[in-house]
Structure 1
C-alpha cells in the first residue's frame, strides 16, 4: 500500500521517515556510490523540507519497502538547482508540475518479485496521488539505464534535453504527463488491479495543490 506523507500528517510517520533516510543512504550512497553531502548512515538534503511529499510503500507487515519524493517546482528543487543544464528550453515549473526524485525499491536475494511489485505500486500510487491532488505533470532526472523501465510504465514521456554524464553516469531530464485517460494502460502494464493509494493518508489541505 502507498502512503502519502506531507506536512499535514508527518507526525504519524516519523519512525518511517527516519527509516526512509537510512534506506536512502544504503541505496544511493552505499550501493550506488553517489557522492552526496550527508551524515554517515542518513541521506537527507536541503530538499527534504516541510512542503515535501513522500510516497511510501509499506507492506502488510508494516515494513517500508520503497519510496519516492515529490517537490513543488514553484520552489527550489533538484532540477532547477542542480540539473538545469539538462533542460534545453528551460526547467518546467508551475502549480500543477511537481518533481519526483529519490525513487527506490529495496532489493536482495529472492526479492525480485517483491521489488517489481513495489516499483509497480509506487508508479501507480504516484499516478493516483496526482489525479487526487491536481498534479498534471512530473519532472525527473534519471539514469539512462532506467529509461526502458520508465517507457514500459506506459507514461507519456518527453525528454527535456540531451543526456549528459554526471558522476560517471549518463542521466536524462524528462517530463511525464499524468492524466486519467492513460492511467488504465499504466496500471495494466504494471499488473496492478484496484487502488494502491491509502486514502486516509491524504489530507484535505493537500487539495491546495490543485488551486
Structure 2
C-alpha cells in the first residue's frame, strides 16, 4: 500500500523517513552514480522539508519498498532551482502543479517505470492523491532512456523543452496531466484495481506564496 506522509502525520513515520534517505543514497548515489552533495549513507537535500509530501510504498510486512517525493512548484523545487534550462519557456509554477522527484523502487532495477507492483502502486497512488487534492499536473526530470516507456504508461505527457546532458546522462523535463480519464488508463495499463492509498491526510500544508 501507499502511505502518504506530510507535515500532518510526519511524526508517525520518522523511522520510515530515515530508511527513505538511506535507501535513496543506495539507489541514486551508489547504484546510479549520481553526484549529489550529501552525507555518506544519507541522501537528503534542502527540498526535504516540512512542505514536502512523500508517497511511501510499504508492504504487508512493514518494509519500505519504494517512494517518491512531491514538492509544490510555487515554492523552491528541483526543476526550478537546478534544471530551469530544461524548460523552453518558464518553469511551470501553479497551485495545481507539483513536482515529482526521487522516485525509486527496490523491487526492480530502480528504473522509473519498470513494471512491478511497487512502481505500479506508486504511479496510481500519485494520480489518486493528486485528484483528491486538486493537483492537476506534475513535472519531472528523467533520463531519456526512460522516456519511451514513460510515453507508453497511459497518461498525457508533454516535454517542457529539449534534452540536455547532466553528469554524463541525457535528461529531459516533462509534465504529466493528472485527470480521471488518464488515471483509469494508467490503472488499467498497470493492472491495478481499487484504491492503493493506506491513508490520505485531508490537509495539505498551507503554502505562503509571496506576491
TM-score range, shorter chain: over 0.9
Per-residue CA deviations over 1:35-90 (Å, capped at 9, x if unaligned) read 00000000000000100000000001000000000000001000000100000011
Aligned partner of 1:38 in structure 2 is: 38
Where has structure 1 moved over 6 Å in runs of 4 or more? none
Distance 1:140 1:3 in 2: 21
Change (3 A) 1:108 1:127: closer
Alignment of 1:187-198 (within 5 A): 187-198=187-198
Alignment of 1:35-184 (within 5 A): 35-107=35-107, 116-184=116-184
Alignment coverage as a number of residue pairs:
203
**RMSD of Structure 2 on Structure 1 (CA):** 1.6
Please say if residues 143 and 171 of structure 1, whose CA atoms lie closer than 8 Å, have aligned partners that are also in contact.
yes
Per-residue CA deviations over 1:100-134 (Å, capped at 9, x if unaligned) read 0000001469xxxx971101000000000001111
Give unmatched runs, 5+ long, in structure 2: none
Please say if residues 4 and 201 of structure 2, whose CA atoms lie closer than 8 Å, have aligned partners that are also in contact.
no
Aligned partner of 2:14 in structure 1 is: 14
More helix by share: 1
Distance 1:208 1:134 in 2: 14
Give me the TM-score of the superposition, normalised by structure 1.
0.92
Give me the TM-score of the superposition, normalised by structure 2.
0.92
Give unmatched runs, 5+ long, in structure 1: none
Q: In structure 2, the residue corresponding to 1:68 is in which secondary structure?
A: strand
Q: In structure 1, the residue corresponding to 2:197 is in which secondary structure?
A: coil
